[in-house]
Amino acid sequence: MKSQKTSLKSGTFQWNFNGWLGCQIGGTGWLLLFGILLLFHKDIIAGISFTVCFLLLNAIGAFLWHRRDKIAPYHATQIFFALVGGLSAVTITLLDWAGYFPNEATASDYTKWLLIIPALMVVFHFRERSSRKKDMTN
């Protein structure tokens, strides 16, 4: 049986500060941008909601990074992506309810772009599984 230390270092995904920061800022930066824009448009509740989602996701990302000696990078990435996708769908729905989309557009027109997140998660799953199988045979 492999030790916990070994299992954290095996697989495709490895802890890397630049990679993790890029994932975190790339996944959440748009929330801060929209939050600031909404605040400038005097929609305080929506602007604060987006900014809070940005801060919450980045706090979770920082927590996962600081627990990297206990959490496998693959699992942390999957957790973070799931949370980004879920909160992004919520914020887009909030925009729809607040009437920010043109009359003919709906939240579903925009949330379909979020399907990239579960698609990436599936790709990551198969890459990690393949890598772990190779590790077991070596």
Write out the DSSP string of 61-123. HHHHHHTTTTS-HHHHHHHHHHHHHHHHHHHHHHHHHTT-S-TT--HHHHHGGGGHHHHHHHH
Name 77's Cβ contacts closer than 8 Å, sequence gap at least 6. Answer: 13, 23, 124
pLDDT of residue 92: 81
Separation of alpha carbons 102 and 34, rounded Å: 17
CA distances to 3, 41, 53, 61 from 26, rounded to whole Å, are: 33, 24, 14, 12
Question: Can you give the pLDDT at residue 29?
Answer: 94
Which pLDDT value is given to residue 16?
93
pLDDT score, position 4: 46
Q: Write down the pLDDT at residue 5.
A: 46
pTM over 0.85: no
Q: CB burial class (10 A; 0-12, 13-18, 19+) of residue 90?
A: middle
Tell me, what's the pLDDT at 20?
A: 94
All residue ranges of the chain with pLDDT < 70 are: 1-10, 101-110, 135-136, 138
Query: Using an 8 Å Cβ cutoff, are 18 and 44 in contact?
Result: no
Q: Which pLDDT score, from 0 to 100, does residue 59 have?
A: 97
